[in-house]
Structure 1
């Protein structure tokens, strides 16, 4: 069960983030990283250098953050803006500290960046994921979304 019930985390004074809607060939979990692939979305790969979007929860179908978008469905990808917070999916056994640099792994989940990795976001909270399942962790986009560790 997820720790949060929404992917976009605010601030409440901000309007909702800019979004793009595209088809996606594979099932996608909310809170994972997406990239553009032609006229579709694809799951971001390990340390992807493409523009990153965050898969939004499917609130239109009243689905939760742990309900995957179905393959070949039209999904919503949120553009990460500097002043906004997002709850991003980190895999189990990931120990995140506040301020930790995050990149993407092969399945579009957010993991700790190592030297030479592109930094996509910074953790806004500390969380040691020993729950046995992927969890959502509050994060903010890295300035310019193109930094390297």
Structure 2
């Protein structure tokens, strides 16, 4: 079970993020990274350099953050702004420290960026994911197109 129950985490004074809706050929977990692929969404690949959107929880169907959007469904992708917080999905075995730069793995989940990789998000909390399942970690969009040093 996820530690958080929403993907967009605020702040509450901030207007909700801009969203885009597209069909996605594969099942998508909320909190993972999406990229545009023509007129559709695709799961972001490893260290993606494309524009990243965050898959929102499927609140329209009253689904929780651990329920994947079905394949070939219309998915809501949120456009992160650097002043907004999002709960992004990190795989089990990932030890995140506050301020750590995050990039994507082949499944669109957020992992620690290594030297030379694009930093997409910065962790806003420390969390050692030894839970045995993917977890949501609070993060904020990195400004610009940063590379890990």
TM-score, with structure 1 as normaliser:
0.99
- Alignment-derived partner of residue 78 in structure 1: 78
Deviation at 1:68, TM superposition (A): 0.2
- Alignment-derived partner of residue 147 in structure 1: 146
* Structure 1: stretches of 5+ with no match in the other structure: none
TM-superposition CA deviations, 1:85-123 (whole Å, max 9, x none): 000000000000000000000000000000010000000
- Alignment-derived partner of residue 102 in structure 2: 102
Deviation at 1:21, TM superposition (A): 0.2
> C-alpha distance in 2, partners of 1:36/1:102?
20
- Alignment-derived partner of residue 5 in structure 1: 5
Residue aligned with 1:103, SS: strand
Q: CA RMSD in A?
A: 0.4
Residue aligned with 2:15, SS: coil
Deviation at 1:13, TM superposition (A): 0.1
- Tell me how many residue pairs correspond in the alignment: 148
Residue aligned with 2:60, SS: helix
Deviation at 1:26, TM superposition (A): 0.1
- Alignment-derived partner of residue 27 in structure 2: 27
* Structure 2: stretches of 5+ with no match in the other structure: none
- Alignment-derived partner of residue 50 in structure 2: 50
Deviation at 1:5, TM superposition (A): 0.1
Runs of 4+ in 1 over 3 A off after TM superposition: none
